[in-house]
Amino acid sequence: MLDIPHIATGNLFRENLKNETELGKMAKTYMDHGKLVPDEITEAMVRERLSQPDTTEGFILDGFPRTLPQAEALTEMLTDLRRRLTCVLHLKVPDEEIVERLAGRNICRLCQTPFHPKFNPFQTCPYDRCTGEHLYQRDDDSPEIIRARLKTFHGQTEPLVDYYCELGLLLEIEGVGDVATVTNRIIAAAKTLTRT
Ligand code: AMP
């Protein structure tokens, strides 16, 4: 819809892991335990990605920043690029629902679309590229690692909600509801922003 790149740090780490790079092997030791990859390494990866030409018309960052130092590094990167953040979306979902959603999640290896037997069963691929046989479950989507990831989130990432609220950039989105309803809330919020 917005036609700008979706830059997800988790996807960048998984891509490195698939290609067996040193970065991927190092990141795996943290990902397997639901912990964050060290800031400096993550920041360098994002800095490199944001320097690529497809980002000039804008981009959506997903999963970054996740710590206060990462947020400060992002401000610095954007200043260097003469850019600024338009807004930060905070999708609010209770922990128990997150466990249920992620523990049942299946992802398409080809297009990365997430499916769920209860919330979003696989019927057809939205990009007409894949069939059900490409679906896989992430190693860190076991209930035990999901709970570790939530603990990391509450300890290290949640403080960013106040940080971005004070900067006047935070948009809260109610994340409970069916996929279409939550998607529409996000699109409606994005439309108000692109008009300003
Ligand atoms: P995600 O795909 O966003 O759930 O991220 C999967 C894993 O990648 C996380 O549990 C972390 O180990 C790592 N990761 C992703 N984004 C970051 C980040 N901004 N900072 C540190 N580690 C990250």
10 C-alpha vs ligand 1 centroid, how far in Å?
5
The single residue listed with the structure tokens 């403080």 is: 159
Q: Which protein residue's CA is at the shortest distance from atom 12 of ligand 1?
A: 31
Mean pLDDT by 10 residues, the chain (196 residues): 90 95 97 98 98 95 98 97 94 98 93 89 78 89 98 98 96 95 91 64
> What pLDDT does 134 receive?
86
Q: Report whether residue 153 contacts ligand 1, using a CB cutoff of 6 Å.
A: no
| 136: three-class secondary structure by DSSP | strand
- The rounded Cα 143 to chain-centroid distance in angstroms is 19
Q: Which protein residue's CA is at the shortest distance from atom 11 of ligand 1?
A: 36
- The rounded Cα 5 to chain-centroid distance in angstroms is 12
Q: What whole-number distance in Å separates Cα of residue 143 and Cα of residue 102?
A: 8
31 C-alpha vs ligand 1 centroid, how far in Å?
7
H-helix segments, 51-122: 68-80, 95-103
Residue among 33, 66, 107 whose CB has most ligand 1 atoms within 8 A, to mutate = 66
Q: What whole-number distance in Å separates Cα of residue 193 and Cα of residue 130?
A: 33
| Beta carbons of 138 and 105 less than 8 angstroms apart | yes
Q: Tally Cβ neighbours within 10 Å of residue 51.
A: 11
> What pLDDT does 26 receive?
97
Q: Report whether residue 105 contacts ligand 1, using a CB cutoff of 6 Å.
A: no
> What pLDDT does 1 receive?
66
Q: What whole-number distance in Å separates Cα of residue 39 and Cα of residue 37?
A: 6
| DSSP codes, 5-58 | -EEEHHHHHHHHHHTT-HHHHHHHHHHTTT-PPPHHHHHHHHHHHHTSGGGTT-
Q: Report whether residue 102 contacts ligand 1, using a CB cutoff of 6 Å.
A: no
Pairing status of strand 114-115 against strand 88-92:
unpaired
> What pLDDT does 189 receive?
87
> What pLDDT does 31 receive?
97
Please state the pTM of the whole predicted model. Answer: 0.93
> What pLDDT does 133 receive?
84
